[in-house]
Chain A
Amino acid sequence: DVKVTQSSRYLVKRTGEKVFLECVQDMDHENMFWYRQDPGLGLRLIYFSYDVKMKEKGDIPEGYSVSREKKERFSLILESASTNQTSMYLCASRTGTGRNTIYFGEGSWLTVV
């Protein structure tokens, strides 16, 4: 079974803090993704990476950055957290392109106060 593990399930951070969300997958997938989920807005792609050290902006990259130093690990960074970044963050991975399933982690609930 594919396993995508997000290191923190629940976090509370203060406005202006730097926040790191870590994700590890164990299936040697080339592609990794960060989404956020908000009620009524569905799943919105923040960033994705198709290879080590490669990254592409998704639909809502503003206020976020990412790092992929190793194939199995993809980190999401909030340089200066703001209250409008309170959300559920979902990491996912996938092999190849086109007709392949994407697998999600359990999610990280971030509250910025």
Chain B
Amino acid sequence: DQQVKQNSPSLSVQEGRISILNCDYTNSMFDYFLWYKKYPAEGPTFLISISSIKDKNEDGRFTVFLNKSAKHLSLHIVPSQPGDSAVYFCAASGAGSYQLTFGKGTKLSVIP
């Protein structure tokens, strides 16, 4: 039973345009959400996070939006660059929980 779902396995976007990656969760105890970026043959690197007390968090070209009522979050990348091509993982954690629950990832390809 997947508690964190990334329903799009892949996404292609033109350079300079907006990339929107989506993530849904089912566990209402989750209150902290993270996005990780992963290049082939490397470990995932932390990108941005958001806690459930906020609905938006911004860091440069990356913005994460959280809709608690819909149990949905999204990562916006503006403008998209070829170096953003990677697999993006959504993750969630609950208060007092040791571990993160990850989605299956979305492969983003930014076309020059």
Contact = CB atoms under 8 A, between A and B. Distances in A.
A99 B32 contact: yes
Contacts of B44: 43, 90, 104
A90 B38 CA distance: 12
A105 B96 contact: no
Contact of B95 (A43, A98, A102, A109): A98
Contacts, number: 68
B34 to A, nearest CB: 7
Nearest to B52: A99
B25 interface: no
**Which bracket fits the contact residues of B?**
20 to 34
Contacts of A48: 98-99
- By secondary structure, the A interface counts as strand
A78 B71 CA distance: 37
A84 interface: no
Interface in B9-47: 9, 31-32, 34, 36, 38, 41-46
B31 A98 contact: yes
Contact of A40 (B9, B32, B46): B9
A45 interface: yes
Given A42-B105, A98-B32, A31 B41 contact: no
A33 B46 CA distance: 16
Contacts of B93: 97-100
A99 B31 contact: yes
A35 to B, nearest CB: 8
Given A101-B49, A106-B42, 10 more contacts: A35-B102, A40-B9, A42-B103, A43-B44, A45-B99, A56-B98, A99-B49, A99-B93, A102-B34, A106-B43
A90 B104 contact: no
B89 A43 contact: yes
